[in-house]
Structures are given as C-alpha cells and as structure tokens.
Amino acid sequence: MNINPEYLVDKKGKKKSVVFSLRDYERLMEYLENMEDSMDLKRAKRSAKSFKSLSEIASHFKRAGRLR
C-alpha cells in the first residue's frame, strides 16, 4: 500500500498533524478493517471447541426455512 501523507508542522518545524487524500484514507481504513477481521478469525480459531462443516450449517438453515 502506498500512501502519501502531508504533514502540518508548528513554528519550530515539529510535525503536529497528518493529512491524507480521501482515497488514501479510504484505503487505509479498508486495510485496518481487514486486519481487524484477520485478528478476529485467529482469536475465534484459538478459542473454538469444535467446528461445523459448511454442509452442516447449510442443512441447519435449510431445515429452519432460512435457506433454499
């Protein structure tokens, strides 16, 4: 990911704020959301006691009338 920030500086030249283009901001937010999803998945795998196959889940929803 290539982001080109601009910095706002104080009178002494010390960086105080960062400005991104809207496109860069949206790309950064999408990246962070993907990272958060990845961390959630890893956490779920570590804490899971058992897993169900996709066909078992589909059968469950079909019986409940929530899937065709």
SS3 42: helix
Predicted pLDDT of residue 3: 87
Q: Low-confidence residues of the chain, pLDDT below 50?
A: none
Inter-residue contact 17 to 8 (CB < 8 Å): yes
- 1 lies in a domain? no
Predicted pLDDT of residue 61: 94
- 16 lies in a domain? yes
Count of structural domains within the chain: 1
Predicted pLDDT of residue 57: 94
- 32 lies in a domain? yes
Predicted pLDDT of residue 11: 97
- 14 lies in a domain? yes
Inter-residue contact 8 to 19 (CB < 8 Å): yes
Predicted pLDDT of residue 68: 82
- 68 lies in a domain? no
As given in the structure block, the two tokens for residue 60 are 């469950």
Residue 41's domain spans which residues?
6-63
- 52 lies in a domain? yes
